[in-house]
Amino acid sequence: MSDNSASNSSSTSRCDYTAAFLLLRLFLGLRTLLAGVEKFESSGSYSFENYYKNMGRMAQGITGASFMPLWMTRNFAHSLGYLLIAFGVALLLGIKTRMTLTLTGLLYVGLSFGLMAVQEGDGVAWLGMHILMFAVALVLCRHNRFALWADKE
């Protein structure tokens, strides 16, 4: 009888981890996708023109307040929105989840570095929480049961 209880407990535990990972993956996917989409917005309107204006201002602001050269901040800023959207969609669909979580986490580390360079402590802490969630998701990734294109174990 105890063997059956242990089996049921183990099965319940696996379901709990699967649910926890799914919730975390969906949250991070939506957050990342919407962070990318918002880069295209200005005054309630979305366009590529808005995107390049917004990202140009971002690059100029970081360069003006830090040691980083404009060529570096501009290249990062101009690719940022597209990467966020692509990674967000990949997380939501479960496409190579482990790799996507790692790359998205590294992107958030890059964003954090930019905020550290301009001494924006609140933004660094906020992004740090996201990076912590990516780390937890990577630990739970083996419980990814709902993926369009699963990682190889």
Tell me if 153 is assigned to some domain.
Answer: no
At 54-103, the pLDDT tens digits run 999 999 999 999 999 999 999 999 999 999 999 999 999 999 999 999 99
Tell me if 149 is assigned to some domain.
Answer: no
Greatest C-alpha distance within the chain: 69
Tell me if 152 is assigned to some domain.
Answer: no
Higher pLDDT, 92 or 150: 92
By the 8 A CB rule, do 131 and 59 touch?
Answer: no
The pair of three-digit structure tokens given for residue 48, joined into one six-digit string: 């590529």
Tell me if 34 is assigned to some domain.
Answer: yes
Question: Residue 125: which domain range?
Answer: 2-143
User: For position 1, what pLDDT does the model report?
Assistant: 46
At 16-65, the pLDDT tens digits run 999 999 999 999 999 999 999 999 999 999 999 999 999 999 999 999 99
pLDDT bracket for residue 14 (50, 70, 90): confident
Percent of the chain residues topping a pLDDT of 90: 88
Cα atoms found within 13 Å of the Cα of residue 110, Cβ hemisphere only = 15
Residue holding tokens 């949250």?
27
Least Cα distance to 151 among 96, 93, 90 occurs for 96
By the 8 A CB rule, do 70 and 60 touch?
Answer: yes
| DSSP letter, residue 150 | P
pLDDT bracket for residue 13 (50, 70, 90): confident
Tell me if 85 is assigned to some domain.
Answer: yes
Tell me if 151 is assigned to some domain.
Answer: no
User: For position 9, what pLDDT does the model report?
Assistant: 67
Considering its fold, how many domains does the chain have in total?
1
Tell me if 83 is assigned to some domain.
Answer: yes
Tell me if 125 is assigned to some domain.
Answer: yes
How far is the C-alpha of 107 from the C-alpha of 91, rounded, in Å? 14
Residue holding tokens 């174990």?
153
